[in-house]
Amino acid sequence: MREIADYRAGCRIVLGDETGRRYSDSTIDMGFREALPVYRSFCPLKTTIFQRVAAVDGVSVTLTGFLDPAAEIQTVRNEAGYWLEFGEYRTEQKVYLNIYGGQDVPAVNEKLSLGLSLPHRIKGLDEARETTIPAVHEFAVIKGAAGYAMRIRARSVTEVFGKRPEDRAALMEQAEQLITEYFSDLARLQPAVHDPLPRGDFEI
């Protein structure tokens, strides 16, 4: 189950909507967009890159390369291998690090090792070219997306002809139950198997 069409089909099975009469692709995709950041918080997709220091101003360091806006910098090490305490801010073109704690500020052209957390993706969703969710975690993510899709549908049911108030309440209750189970499932997953892709250190 590696592409969005497969994930949608799995989601519809959980929702009891195999024929697609109640949940559109767009609603299910919105469910996955909500489920994926939650999955990332439990099972981050990590990689390491190297970037050189382009400029130094006091304790502020400007990096040379562009980072994916969705990538979160989690760790920074200098060339000597020491971990640096830092704060980060960005503009559209540049990434800046403020070095804290009286540590030695890296010099211009020094190579820093950045530990990143990247967003998880499903191939075909928002033009993603790969799926980063390991097979053993797929059902948990599908269940979470089903819960979020059901919550979206419950909110849209209000004042629709033929819908009773209890219909919306029942949908919302089922949605919240699925989402609660999703969080419980994620808490039991082993983050050690979070990254199915061959990744290593690389310089940009």
Question: Residues 109-160: pLDDT tens digits?
Answer: 999 999 999 999 999 999 999 999 999 999 999 999 999 999 999 888 765 5
Q: What angle, rounded to 10 degrees, do the helices at 25-42 and 138-156 form?
A: 130
Prediction pTM value: 0.78
* Cα–Cα dist 59/64, whole Å: 16
Task: Note the CATH number of domain 45-118.
Answer: 2.40.30
User: For residue 103, what is the DSSP state?
Assistant: P
Question: Are 146 and 30 spatial neighbours (Cβ–Cβ below 8 Å)?
Answer: no
- Per DSSP, the three-state class of 81 is coil
Q: How far apart are CA 86 and CA 133, in angstroms?
A: 30
Task: Report the SS3 class of residue 150.
Answer: helix
Domain residue extents for the chain: 4-43+121-194, 45-118
